[in-house]
Amino acid sequence: MKMVVDGMEALKSNIDKYMCNANESVHLKMIRGVSDLEDESKAFHPDMSHQIFGEKEQIFGYQNLRINIYYTACKLQTFVELKYSDKIDPKTHYEIKPDDVMSNMKEVIPPGCCWSVDQFTHQIQCDASFLPHGEMVHQYRRTAKTGVEQVFEMFNPSIARYPGFKEYHDRMQTLMMWFIDAASYIDVDDDKWEYYTIYEKVSDETGKFVYYFVGYCTAYNFYAYPEHCRPRIAQFIVIPTYQRQGHATETVDFIQKRFLSRSNIRDICVEDPSENFQRIRDYIDCKNSINLDCFHPDKLSNGYSSDMFKECNEKLKLNKRQSRRVYEIIRLKHTNVLDEKSYKPYRLEVKRRLNQPFSAKAYMKNMKTLMPSDEERCKILEKEFCELLEAYLPIVERLKRDGL
C-alpha cells in the first residue's frame, strides 16, 4: 500500500512541475523600435487571464512557459510567440495532454497577427507612418519624471466614417481581455457606440510626429424617453506603462464634459465600474460638484435633499445614486471624524441609507432571504459603512491635496 501511495505522490509531483501561472507566463509589450524586442524592461503582465485560461488562471503541460504578445506601439500590429523549456509527453504521462494554448487564445489574437520576428520587424518599421483615425478633440500635457514635457491627444473616430478604424479597433480591443473583468467584444455595427483613443504625440529625430497608443474608452448612447439619451461609459483601458499618470481622470472628465454640451442628455452613467474606475469617477464628480450651491458647507448638515439631486442632474447630469454618493464624500470632507459631535450625525445618516434594503417593504418585495436579526443587521451596516469610508477617504484626501 505504501508503495502505491509513494507512486501516486511521485506522479503528482512530476505532473505539478508542468503547471504554470498564466498571468506570469504572459508577457505583453508595446514595441516602439526593434531594440525593444529584447528589452525586458518594456514587458508587462496582464491583470487577469481567467477569461482566456479559466478561473484558476493556470496553464498545464509546460515548463518555463513564456507567451510573448507584442504590439507595435502605434498601429497595434501583433506578434505572438510561444516558448518553453519542456512540454509534457502524453506517451510517458498516462496520455495526459498539455493545454492547447493557441486555441485558448484565439479570441485575443487579432486577424493579421505576425508569427515570425522578421514579419513583425517589418511592421515595426511601418509604424512611424501611422496617423490616428478620427478627429482630434482634446490635447493635454504631463511632465514626466525626467522633467520632459509630454503631449497627449485624444481622438474621436467612428467605424462608419473612418476606413481602417474597424480593423484597428479589432486589434485594440484584444487588450481589454487581459485588463477588464467580464470583458466582451462589442457590436461595431451598432452606430450608438462612441470611441475615444488616446496617444502620446512625440516628435522623432526628423521632426515628424509619431503617435504612441496610450489607451481607449467606449461609450454607448442609450435611448431615454421621449427624445433623450443616456450615455454610458462601457470600456476603458490605459496600458500599464502609462498608468498612474492621470490619463484616466483626464479622459473621463473630458468625455463627461463633452456629453454635457449636448442638449438631449438625461444623465451620464458608467457600466459596472471596477473599484479603481469608481474611485476615478467619484473624484471627477466631486471636483466638478464641490462648488455647487447645493453643496455649500452650511447646507451639508441638513442631509441629502431633492434639491441636491436636481442641481447635480441639471448641471452635471448625475443620476440620483451618484449624486448621493458625491454628497456623502463632500460632507465627509467637511466632517471632523475625530470629533464625535461632528462625526455621529454623518455616520447615522449614511447608515440610514444603507439600512433601506432592510426595511419590511423591501423584504416583502424581494423575499429571497430571511430578514436578519437586529444584531446581524447592525453588524452588516457597520461593515458596509467601514467599506464606504475606506473608499471615500482617498477621494477626500485627493480633493484636499488639490486645494478643493
Q: Could you list the active site residues?
A: 271
280, containing H or E segment: helix 275-289
Residue carrying the nine cell digits 461632528: 342
Distances (CA, A) of 258 to 253, 277, 355: 9, 19, 36
Give how far Cα 271 sits from Cα of 117, 219, 246, 351, Å.
39, 9, 21, 25
Give Cβ neighbours of residue 105 (< 8 Å, ≥ 6 apart).
52, 67, 80
ω into 226 cis (within 30 of 0): yes
Which residue, among 155, 140, 220, has the nearest Cα to 186 in the 3D structure?
220
Distances (CA, A) of 392 to 144, 224, 321, 324: 28, 31, 15, 13
